[in-house]
Structure 1
Amino acid sequence: MVSTTHTHKHRSFGRYYLKTLFWFILGGFLAALGIEVFLIPNQLVDGGIVGISMMAAHLFGKPLLPYFLILFNLPFAVLAYKQIGKHFVIQMVTAVVAFSLSLVAFYWVPLWLGRPPFEFHGEAIEIIVIGGFIIGCGVGLIIRHGGSTDGTEILGILINRRKGFTIGQVILFVNIFVFAMAGVVYHNWHSALMSLMTYVVATKVMDMVIVGFEDTKSVMIISGMPQHLANVLMEELGIGLTVMYGRGGYTGDAREIIYIVIERLQLAELKEIIHREDPEAFIAIENLHEVINGRQNSNFHQLPPSV
């Protein structure tokens, strides 16, 4: 019986990762399509680490873009491993590698086939809307399934813990710097403005792809093994939770309900743990726009006192 249960969990685990990998590959392909076909040929950049990597590749050679992307994200992956956890780092590295391989393919495949590179040159509005839409879809798919292609958000989390700036403010400051540098690197402030507009479109599309994308979520779980599941969640995620008591409306059976306030970056791992421990558990997830006197940040991204 134990062996059968273990095998079932192992297979469910495998399907979960294969499904996640599929979305990362598709998202990476779409993001690379938008960047290689719409942005780079028109001297536009994306925001964050991706934009910095694009400018470095412009200065030192376009084929180096995937390598710059991995190199510049590496320090943030190390920080994320220390402050967020191994699962998120695995998701992030997988997404960045999938994205980078797609960038490699878009550059080298046309050369191997003896064809000109895939490039779109059109009206500014076409580049902004179509390019931004494709990039937003790609990045949105990756984030929706627990990954990340950019270390800027991790930087925002760490600065938020130490200096009090919000994550959104940090990302905004970084992107202002990136788009200002784009004007200098390309010697074209029109390109910098177009880059900003494309980024706005991509962000709006990304928010639509990521259903209910917020920094903080509330999760309610009804499980047949509530105490065991609560202990596993507290141990593996390092979070606090509340156990409430309810009664089934139809059966009248008493039930224990687990209630958690959690940050988005932990949501994928939370669902993975629940699926692993109790595949039949009922899960309800809601966006939280404000939490007062709560511990939703508890020790999730808390820097150790020595840092």
Structure 2
Amino acid sequence: MQQRFKNFLLLNIGAFMDAAGFYFFLAPNQIAAGGITGLSLVLNTFFPTLSLGLLVLILSVILLVIGFIMIGPVFGVKTVYCSIMIPFMIWGLEKIYPLTAPLTSDTLIQLIFGVFISSTGLAILFYQNSSSGGTDILARILHRYHHLEMGKGLLIIDFFITLLATSAFGIQKGMYALLGVILYGFSIDYVIEGFSVSKLVTIITTNSEAVKRFIVYDLERGATIYTARGAYTEQEWEVVVTIVKRREFIRLRNYIEDLDPRAFITVQNTHEVLGEGFSTFH
């Protein structure tokens, strides 16, 4: 129950960050950086009486219906929930904190902040095995009927939206929109990697037994032991290999430093670990 509540909380945090990044930073500057929110921003110029939240909601519902008709009920409950919740959050922000002008006069700064906040939210959703729906559905349709890879499909759709933004807001805003699409791709990947990064640690020490006990009983992690022989000394050593979280690695490193200052340690970043004590298989 506690884990379900945590997942539900993260789902709402991710949805709110996506909505807030768009509403506070991208929308006031007319930066349609792809996605269903970017498309709603373009459409808002033709239907100014409709709020952005309502436009996003209408587009979300239309795309969900098209998706169910053309590719079936392949969308998870989380994706459907976020597809509806994000436009309601945008609508709520419009009511609670109406904006009549951009927060600052520096469009580039607001582009960076908007993309960073929104992409962090999207990364949280992806990490929860969800998405914001929207143009993801169009990419799935292209993949289903034209065998186009999802990534390429999204890129084509976002590029088309930036072309619409250029025609609606001018070449400068169109260039900002294209830059935003590029930044989104890098930011989402970076944040997702940051969520799941662990440390693969290889340790050679004369006190391997003490290190094993610390890993197993203090850090409550597993370890693998194998015997290696030095190429120069011809001496045999026990090599301890373990995978730990970043904070656990700091504890392990400090412990080994006090135990055996002459120990030899190599560390590698591991961006995904599946199994007991880490992420589970979906």
Which TM-score applies when normalising by structure 1? 0.58
Task: Report what 2:176 is aligned to.
Answer: 194
The reply to whether residue 51 of structure 1 matches residue 34 of structure 2 is no
Contact 1:36 1:118 in 2 (8 A): no
Return 150-159 or 45-54, whichever deviates more: 150-159
Alignment of 1:159 onto 2:146: no
**Residue 291 of structure 1 corresponds to which residue in structure 2?**
none
Query: Is the Cα–Cα contact under 8 Å of residues 45 and 182 in structure 1 kept in the other structure?
Result: yes
| Shift in Å, 1:162 | 2.2
Q: Unaligned 5+ residue runs, structure 2?
A: 196-223, 226-273
Work out which of the residue numbers 7, 24, 36 in structure 2 matches 1:37: 24
In structure 2, C-alpha distance between the alignment counterparts of 1:107 and 1:283, rounded to whole Å: 37
Is 1:124 the counterpart of 2:107 in the alignment?
yes
- Counterpart for residue 210 of structure 1: 192
CA 1:156/1:22 → structure 2, altered by over 3 Å: closer, same or farther?
Answer: same
- In structure 2, the residue matched to 1:242 is none
Q: CA deviation at 1:133?
A: 0.8
- Give yes or no for contact 1:134–1:202 (8 Å, CA) kept in 2: no
Paired AA for residue 150 in structure 1: G
Identity value in percent: 21
Residue 93 of structure 1, aligned match among 80, 103, 111: 80
Q: Against the structure 1 CA distance between its residues 103 and 284, is the aligned structure 2 distance closer, same or farther, given a 3 Å change threshold?
A: closer
Distance in 2 (alpha carbons) for counterparts of 1:117 and 1:89: 37
Amino acid at match of 1:208: Y
Aligned to 2:204: none
Aligned length: 205
Label 1:16 to 1:96 Cα distance change in 2 as closer, same or farther (>3 A). Answer: farther
1:133 aligned to 2:116? yes
SS in 2 for 1:211: helix
Q: CA deviation at 1:24?
A: 2.3
Aligned mates of 1:282, 1:127 — CA distance in 2: 36
Compared CA separation, residues 97 and 38, structure 1 to 2 (3 A) = same
Please report how far the alpha carbon of residue 177 of structure 1 lies from its aligned counterpart in structure 2 after TM superposition.
1.0
2:11 equivalent among 24, 27, 40? 24
Following TM superposition, by how much is the alpha carbon of 1:212 offset from its aligned partner in structure 2, in angstroms?
8.8
Q: Indicate which of 60, 63, 69 corresponds to 1:76.
A: 63
Distance 2:140 2:194 in 1: 20
Contact 1:107 1:117 in 2 (8 A): no
Contact 1:136 1:204 in 2 (8 A): no
Q: Deviations over 1:139-171 (max 9, x none)?
A: 111222122223322222232232222122211
Show structure 1 runs of 5+ residues with no match: 1-11, 214-248, 251-270, 272-279, 287-307
Q: 2:52 — aligned with what?
A: 65
AA paired with 2:115? Answer: G
